């Protein structure tokens, strides 16, 4: 049996704060390229794993040593799924901005910002909670 990969709970929260700030700057500047960078950050966390997520690395190298050892750890799957949701929104937003539909870009970025801010400030993972609603809406894949 391989144990599920665990992360310090403070890591994803820290990352969510940075994400919130980056997305706010995207909205204020209307920069599709900055959003593209954030989309890549999401993609690394979602597809390669949180150990490689840029903000997670930043947390481990710069922040965690100053905070002391982790008191609480959690399974990687929920925050990783959240990164995937963020990636989807950032991808739509980037395409919107770069294809000349700034409203699409702004709305997708705004939705991602709501999710990131709720995660950062309240520890609430919107994508994780909506996962079941999305699954419910479709017929079951398995018999």
Partner 1 sequence: MDATGALVLGLALLVAGVAAWWLRTRSGAVRTTGAGVSELEVLRSLGVRPEDADLTVVQFATAFCAPCRATKARLEQLRTSHPGLAAVHVDAESQLEAVRALDVRRTPTLFYLDRSGALLGRSSGAPRPDELRALVAAHAPATGAV
Q: How far apart are CA 118 and CA 114, in angstroms?
A: 6
43 binds partner 1 (CB under 8 A): no
70 binds partner 1 (CB under 8 A): no
1 binds partner 1 (CB under 8 A): no
Phi and psi angles of residue 7, each rounded to the nearest 5 degrees, phi first: -130, 155
Region binding partner 1 by CB under 8 A among candidate stretches 38-46, 53-61, 63-71, 116-124: 116-124
Q: How far apart are CA 131 and CA 52, in angstroms?
A: 24
Q: Out of 49, 54, 88, 102, point to the residue binding partner 1 (CB under 8 A).
A: 102
Q: How far apart are CA 119 and CA 128, in angstroms?
A: 11
Q: How far apart are CA 58 and CA 60, in angstroms?
A: 6
Residue whose pair of structure tokens reads 């992360």 in the numeric block: 7
**Would you tell me which residues interact with partner 1 (CB under 8 A)?**
24, 26-30, 74-75, 77-79, 81, 102-103, 106-107, 109-111, 113-114, 117-118, 121-122, 124-125, 127-129, 131-133, 135-136, 140, 142
């Amino acid at each position: 049996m391989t144990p599920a990969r665990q992360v310090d709970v403070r890591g994803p929260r820290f990352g969510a704060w940075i994400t919130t700030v980056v997305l706010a700057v995207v909205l204020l500047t209307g920069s599709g390229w900055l959003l593209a960078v954030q989309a890549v950050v999401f993609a690394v966390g979602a597809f390669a794993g949180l150990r490689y997520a840029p903000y997670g690395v930043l947390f481990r190298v710069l922040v965690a040593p100053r905070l002391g050892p982790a008191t609480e750890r959690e399974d990687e799957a929920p925050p990783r799924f959240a990164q995937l949701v963020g990636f989807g929104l950032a991808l739509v937003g980037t395409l919107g901005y770069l294809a000349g539909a700034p409203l699409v870009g702004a709305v997708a970025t705004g939705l991602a910002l709501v999710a990131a801010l709720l995660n950062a400030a309240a520890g609430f993972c919107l994508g994780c909670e909506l996962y079941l609603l999305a699954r419910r809406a479709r017929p079951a894949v398995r018999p």
